[in-house]
Amino acid sequence: WLRGNVLTGFPWNVWAHAFADSALLSQPVAFLGLYGLTFLVAFAFCALAGFADGTRGGRRVAVVAIGLLLVAEGAGAARMGLAPDIAPQDVALRLVQPSIPQEEKWLPENRSKVFSTYLEMSKAPWRDEAGSGDSGGLPRIVVWPESAIPFLLTETPDALAAIAALLGPRDTLVTGAVRADTEEGGRVFYNSVYAIGGDGEIRDAYDKVRLVPFGEYLPLESWLERLGLTKIVPLPGVFRAGFRAR
């Protein structure tokens, strides 16, 4: 709880994440909250040691833990069963993830090369489920990772034109990029995600609200910098948190 609230507001490696891959066991977070589910995980996993201590009390605690897990799974199944049916929308999805070292990504002389790498990887032929040479006529979404574009996209019309040339009329690019804004005291930067249509127009943008401490910003910056501490990730400047979550 302290790691998730004091200074950072970023919940690092909460034990409840152990259930993240289970749709059923992760449902109780809706009732218990993240830290309530963390308590359940800690109790259940630790209580299983009661089978090994050779005492009746230890075995009872272990049985209770197993029972709580079964109740949690049952509650998850019930909640998912009550969820409204939503017709799925089929799309063709492409995830692009090149291997670019952080220390090289933000060098000014590498900006064009990095951007070209994403464009070239995104141009690979599409394949439908039958293996034919197209996406089966489905809307296509191309996804680039967080902070993929190492320059200000809104101030680089040539980059938006290149993206428009990459996409078809029904395609969308979802990409991470730095967004700049101007305030009275100067320019501020946000770690954002853009949705760009096939015409190269930015359809929407979202500014990241929960920033990574020591990566995207330095907590207690004025004090820690005097001690020689800096951000782990060599980004240009410091990000500001967005104003609202979506």
Question: What confidence tens digit (pLDDT) does each residue in 88-141 have?
Answer: 778 899 999 999 887 788 788 999 999 999 999 999 888 765 555 566 678 899
Higher pLDDT, 73 or 231: 73
Separation CA 44–CA 28 (nearest Å): 14
All residues at 6 or more sequence positions from 30 whose CB lies less than 8 Å from its CB, including other chains: 79
Structure-block tokens of residue 222: 């004025």
- The whole model's pTM is what? 0.73
Q: What angle do CA 155, 125, 192 make, to 5 degrees?
A: 30
Which residue, among 153, 135, 221, 226, has the nearest Cα to 190 in the 3D structure? 153
Number of H helices, E strands in the chain: 7, 5
Question: What confidence tens digit (pLDDT) does each residue in 63-101 have?
Answer: 999 999 999 999 999 999 998 888 777 889 999 999 988
Question: What confidence tens digit (pLDDT) does each residue in 202-228 have?
Answer: 999 999 988 877 777 777 777 777 777
Separation CA 142–CA 122 (nearest Å): 7
Structure-block tokens of residue 122: 């995104």
Separation CA 235–CA 225 (nearest Å): 16
